């Protein structure tokens, strides 16, 4: 059957209001059922006690006196009632009393159950009112006003704990949204700058009617070099996105082997930097591609952001059961307050680079993301004489 135009097929008819199985309704029914069960149990115990009176609680009525009128016996012979007749009359009276007690108690139980359900509905509504307020406030918060908080008042109960937890989640979301905005803006700028440069170079070359083959070749080389830098940046951004998504596989690796491979692939122009190594076995479980990128970025960053005749120290080993990679380098003096910002995307400092190549400011952010994906602890310390001491401790590997 096709739905009417303008109304979804699964939309209930306005005349049929569907009962919502809310927490308030469930609590109300729970209160009513518990009260009914406890009342029925009490009624059953009372009825059993009246039916089977314990010997120690039984009360026997006294022997009834002979009927008299004004202190004189009634005329005529009055045969005394036999004990069997008296017991029969008492048994019939007890049965009538029990039936009356059972009927009256049942009516009272039904009435009190209705009253308890109503009181349960009111009590559940009052108890859940703060939750409805939190839900309405949370529903009104959007991506445009993540600075708002619930800030629930009242004692430190479960509801306030829930509100405080949600406020902490909003703090993380606000930080993530702000970081995403900065990342998009910086990435757009970093990609737009080389594109503008390439277009300018091509326009100048095409505007010159007397351009020789050598000039055009030089222009092509400039565009090719700029394109290569864009490819490097895009590859770094893809690696960053992949590491933030999480790990698809884990392979047994050795940080010492990866560090040695990264050092072997260094540019020969970095020979002005003195490299010291102490590569001990450091087995870990991780993604080979990401770990290789992490080690290569750290080594490249330590060499790139250095000074003439500087030094780079690369050490691997197991420290306190944690496989550890530690890289120290000389360089410009960095303020301790600037260290955390170095691991944000597109954050660069004005330092002397021995290789003469300018980075994009993405390398250390990729390192931080890869370390987080592997549950590794990353710490960085600004050295007093300049440079950084970066230490990454991976989870213990058996």
Convert the pLDDT of each residue in 293-318 to its tens digit.
899 889 988 888 888 888 999 999 99
**Percentage of the chain exceeding pLDDT 70:** 79
Closest CA to 357 of 300, 304, 306: 304
CA distance 125 to 264: 70
Strand partners, 314: 277, 327
pLDDT at 293: 87
CA distance 205 to 211: 7
Q: Which of 13-17, 181-185, 390-394 comes out lowest in average pLDDT? A: 13-17
pLDDT at 258: 93
Q: Is a pLDDT exceeding 90 seen at residue 391?
A: yes
Between 307 and 188, residue with greater pLDDT: 307
Average pLDDT, stretch 271-275?
Answer: 78
CA distances for 116 relative to 110, 122, 124, 378, angstroms? 10, 10, 12, 59
Closest CA to 26 of 135, 159, 120: 120
DSSP code at position 80: P
pLDDT at 390: 94
CA distance 215 to 211: 6
Share of the chain residues as helix, strand and coil, in percent rounded to the nearest 5 = 55, 10, 30
Phi-psi region of 381 (alpha: psi -120 to 50; beta: other; left: phi over 0): beta
Q: Is a pLDDT exceeding 80 seen at residue 387?
A: yes
End-to-end CA distance of the chain: 61
pLDDT at 4: 42
pLDDT at 356: 45
Q: Which of 84-93, 299-308, 353-362, 371-380 comes out lowest in average pLDDT? A: 353-362
pLDDT band at 7 (very low <50, low <70, confident <90, very high): very low
Q: Is a pLDDT exceeding 60 seen at residue 106?
A: yes
Return the SS3 of 189. helix
pLDDT at 148: 79
CA distance 144 to 46: 64
pLDDT band at 349 (very low <50, low <70, confident <90, very high): low
CA max distance for the chain: 159
Helix, strand counts (H, E) of the chain? 7, 9
Please list, in sequence order, all residues whose beta carbon lies within 8 angstroms of the beta carbon of residue 65, skipping any fewer than 6 positions away.
none
Instruction: Summarize pLDDT for 53-85 with one digit per residue, the tens.
Output: 555 545 555 555 555 555 454 455 556 667 777
CA distances for 275 relative to 296, 332, 384, angstroms? 14, 17, 20
pLDDT band at 260 (very low <50, low <70, confident <90, very high): very high
pLDDT band at 10 (very low <50, low <70, confident <90, very high): very low
Between 5 and 266, residue with greater pLDDT: 266
- Cβ–Cβ under 8 Å, residues 393 and 326: no
CA distances for 90 relative to 54, 67, 102, 250, angstroms? 17, 18, 18, 87
Q: Is a pLDDT exceeding 50 seen at residue 142?
A: yes
The mean pLDDT of the chain is: 77
């Amino acid at each position: 059957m096709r739905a009417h135009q303008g109304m979804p097929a699964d939309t209930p008819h306005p005349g049929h209001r569907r009962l919502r199985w809310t927490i308030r309704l469930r609590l109300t029914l729970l209160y009513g059922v518990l009260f009914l069960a406890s009342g029925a149990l009490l009624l059953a115990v009372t009825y059993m006690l009246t039916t089977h009176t314990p010997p120690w609680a039984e009360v026997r009525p006294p022997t009834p006196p002979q009927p008299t009128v004004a202190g004189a016996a009634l005329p005529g012979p009055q045969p005394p009632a036999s004990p069997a007749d008296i017991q029969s009359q008492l048994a019939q009276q007890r049965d009538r009393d029990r039936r009356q007690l059972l009927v009256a108690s049942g009516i009272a139980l039904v009435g009190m159950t209705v009253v308890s359900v109503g009181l349960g509905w009111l009590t559940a509504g009052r108890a859940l009112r703060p939750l409805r307020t939190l839900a309405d406030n949370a529903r009104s918060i959007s991506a445009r006003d993540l600075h708002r908080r619930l800030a629930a008042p009242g004692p430190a109960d479960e509801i306030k704990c829930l509100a405080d937890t949600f406020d902490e989640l909003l703090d993380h979301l606000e930080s993530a949204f702000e970081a995403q905005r900065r990342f998009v803006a910086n990435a757009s700028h970093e990609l737009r700058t080389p594109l503008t440069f390439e277009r300018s170079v091509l326009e100048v070359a095409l505007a010159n009617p007397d351009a020789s083959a050598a000039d055009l070749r030089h222009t092509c080389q400039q565009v090719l070099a700029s394109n290569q830098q864009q490819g490097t940046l895009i590859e770094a951004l893809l690696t960053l996105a992949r590491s933030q998504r999480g790990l698809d596989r884990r392979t047994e690796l050795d940080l010492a082997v990866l560090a040695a491979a990264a050092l072997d692939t260094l540019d020969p122009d970095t020979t002005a930097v003195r490299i010291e190594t102490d590569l001990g076995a450091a087995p870990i479980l991780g993604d080979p591609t990401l770990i290789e990128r992490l080690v290569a970025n750290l080594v490249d960053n330590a060499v790139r952001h250095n000074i003439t005749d500087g030094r780079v120290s690369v050490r691997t080993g197991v420290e306190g059961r944690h496989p550890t990679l530690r890289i120290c380098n000389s360089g410009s003096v960095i303020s301790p307050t600037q260290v955390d910002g170095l691991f944000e995307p597109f954050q660069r400092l004005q330092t002397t680079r021995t290789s003469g190549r300018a980075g994009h400011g993405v390398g250390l952010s990729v390192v931080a993301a890869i370390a987080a994906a592997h549950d590794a602890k990353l710490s960085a310390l600004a050295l007093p004489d300049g440079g950084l001491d970066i230490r990454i401790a991976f989870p213990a590997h058996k």
